[in-house]
């Protein structure tokens, strides 16, 4: 079986899930930026000056949570959807993985005791 954007779990396709993620990310980062929280920003370049994926059609959005850094990459067509400060270079990537982002967001909304 070929796995592509139309692959479904029986409820949603990958394409739909990525769209949900982008919209949730946009809304949350825009709200944080409006509130002046978490050094939210967007950039066409990583902290080391590299272009995401070596392709100028991509950019990175980043936030510095109290629980650690989180980031995502999006196609440049979504640039204007992110109403967050623009930087020449994003903050230096701290090496976070997808699992780190999950844990950092979980800790933010439900701190451990």
| 95-to-40, 68, 69, 71, 101 alpha-carbon distances in Å | 17, 11, 9, 11, 11
Q: Are 48 and 92 in contact (CB under 8 A)?
A: yes
d(CA 26, CA 31): 8
**How much is the pLDDT for 13?**
83
**Domain extent listing, the chain:** 14-109
Residue for token pair 């067509």: 77
pLDDT in tens, the chain (113 residues): 788 777 777 777 878 888 999 999 999 999 999 999 999 999 999 999 999 999 999 999 999 999 999 999 999 999 999 999 999 999 999 999 999 999 999 999 987 66
C-alpha of 41 from chain center: 10
**How much is the pLDDT for 112?**
67
Q: What tokens appear for 83 in the block?
A: 């109403």
pTM of the predicted model as reported, rounded to 2 decimal places = 0.86
Q: Are 23 and 14 in contact (CB under 8 A)?
A: no
């Amino acid at each position: 079986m070929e796995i592509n954007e139309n692959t479904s779990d029986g409820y949603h396709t990958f394409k739909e899930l990525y769209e949900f993620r982008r919209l949730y990310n946009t809304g949350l980062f825009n709200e944080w930026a409006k509130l002046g929280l978490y050094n939210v920003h967007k950039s066409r370049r990583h902290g080391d000056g590299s272009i995401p994926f070596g392709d100028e059609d991509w950019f990175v959005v980043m936030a510095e949570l109290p629980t650690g850094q989180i980031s995502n990459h999006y196609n440049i067509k979504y640039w204007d959807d992110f109403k967050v400060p623009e930087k020449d270079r994003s903050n230096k990537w701290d090496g976070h993985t997808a699992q780190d982002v999950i844990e950092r967001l979980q800790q933010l909304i439900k701190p451990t005791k």
